[in-house]
Amino acid sequence: MSRSPGRKQENHKISRELFVLTYGALVAQLCKDYEKDEDVNACLDKMGYSIGIRLIDDFLARSAVKKCRSYSETADVIAQVAFKMYLGVTPSVSCSNTTGNEFSLILDKNPLVDFVEELPAERASLCYCNLLCGVIRGALEMVHLAAEVSFLQDRLKGDAVTEIGITFLRKPEDRKHRRN
């Protein structure tokens, strides 16, 4: 039995839509379970971190990327390969400082908010997509890159774009192993 060429893409779209709807239900349930947005944000980050430390194995196996030699190369791989592979979007990357350890991933379209119009006024400090920050942080940690990851701008909060900031916490020379 043969499959039509468009069938796989259709399944991918259905899977993404199911994920986005399920994610929305998860965030809604967390908002019911926790009174404070900070608690919901922390829970989403923790869940994302757990996903990230497991997802990195799949990413490395499926993408066949080589070892990154710089933080800018790492940020490019996250944007051009990982986001494309798992979310179907490619954010643009910009370096935020002269030391080369702070980057921004700028998403013109965030697929996690496809079915969200706006955040309720009483949830103004909710970081709806904080799961993504945890995923990135967890995956980077598994390849021995400590980083702080947070949302700098969010369309759900009225910003023009969605921007995720990544700050690598060690200098590049700190990553090299020294031999005794």
Q: Where are the domains of the chain?
A: 35-117+126-168
Helices (H) and strands (E) in the chain, counts: 5, 4
Task: Supply the pLDDT for residue 71.
Answer: 94
**The model's pTM:** 0.86
Task: Supply the pLDDT for residue 12.
Answer: 55
Residue 153, classed as helix, strand or coil, is strand
How many angstroms from the chain centroid is the CA of residue 85? Answer: 12
Q: What is 35-117+126-168's CATH superfamily? A: Trafficking protein particle complex subunit 3 (3.30.1380.20)
Task: Supply the pLDDT for residue 96.
Answer: 79
Task: Supply the pLDDT for residue 99.
Answer: 86
How far is it, in rounded angstroms, from Cα 88 to Cα 171? 31
CB 168 within 8 A of CB 71: yes
How far is it, in rounded angstroms, from Cα 140 to Cα 173? 17
Task: Supply the pLDDT for residue 6.
Answer: 52
How far is it, in rounded angstroms, from Cα 46 to Cα 19? 18
Q: What is the Cα gyration radius of the chain?
A: 17
Phi and psi torsions of 117, nearest 5°? -85, -50
Task: Supply the pLDDT for residue 132.
Answer: 97
Please give the average pLDDT of every successive group of 10 residues along the chain, which has 180 residues: 52 73 94 96 98 95 91 95 92 90 94 88 93 97 96 92 94 50
Task: Supply the pLDDT for residue 118.
Answer: 84
How many angstroms from the chain centroid is the CA of residue 106? Answer: 11
Query: What's the maximum distance between 2 C-alpha atoms anywhere in the chain?
Result: 61
Q: E strands, 14-171, where?
A: 92-95, 102-107, 147-153, 162-168
